[in-house]
Amino acid sequence: MTTDEDTSASRHRDHLLAEAVRLREDGHREEAKERLLALCEQFPTDPEVAYQTAWVHDALGLEAEAVSHYVRAVEGPGLSRDDRRGAFLGLGSTYRILGRYPEAVATLGDAVAEFPDDAALKTFLAMALYNTGRARDAMEILLSLLATTSKDPDIAAYRPAIEHYAKDLDAME
């Protein structure tokens, strides 16, 4: 393929992807899904196409079908930082919804390591930890988030105590 052909193919892909995303956003999810699946056939290694395809499957309640698309989206480079974070959140949450709790914890744990300041990822990790019987770890995450992100003056007044108990919920002091 020449450079002009590459550019033309890239523009065509961008146009088709934007149309499919617009359809999903406008509530035409089935039509968006069909278009995205066609794009997956044309661009099987494209992480953006994979991410958008996963997203529309999730939006349709087709979580099991979304997994392989999410996995392809996060396997390598190519997504923007925001889309990569969203794909990790989607994959981890989807694993959790499907009862695949250890995979949810692993995925969301990796995501939190990559995006340590993301409160949403931490919250979903806490839920997955709870589902694996790790309530103590889940509470530590949630109490730390509460202490550091709450604007409630009553919470703020007790921030040091909440942060202390987040580390040791059984402490008696």
pLDDT tens for residues 86-117? 999 999 999 999 999 999 999 999 999 999 99
Contacts of 55 (CB under 8 A, 6+ apart): 24, 66, 86, 90
DSSP 123-142: HHHHHHHHHTT-HHHHHHHH
Residues carrying CATH 1.25.40.10, the chain: 3-133
Q: Write down the mean pLDDT value for the chain.
A: 93
Q: Please report the pLDDT score of residue 169 as a whole number.
A: 83
Mean pLDDT within 24-31: 95
pTM of the model as a whole: 0.89
Q: Please report the pLDDT score of residue 10 as a whole number.
A: 81
Q: Please report the pLDDT score of residue 4 as a whole number.
A: 60
Cα–Cα distance for residue pair 75/73, rounded to 1 Å: 6
Amino acid 162 reads: I
Question: Closest Cα to residue 117, out of 143, 92, 145, 147?
Answer: 145
Q: Please report the pLDDT score of residue 75 as a whole number.
A: 94
Percent of the chain at pLDDT > 90 equals 86
Q: Name the pLDDT band for 3 (thresholds 50, 70, 90).
A: low
Q: Please report the pLDDT score of residue 173 as a whole number.
A: 65
- The tokens describing 16, both together, are 């088709």
Amino acid 27 reads: G
**Would you say residue 1 has pLDDT above 70?**
no
Which CATH fold topology does 3-133 show?
Answer: 1.25.40
**Would you say residue 49 has pLDDT above 80?**
yes
Go through the chain and tell me how many residues it has.
Answer: 173
Q: Please report the pLDDT score of residue 2 as a whole number.
A: 58
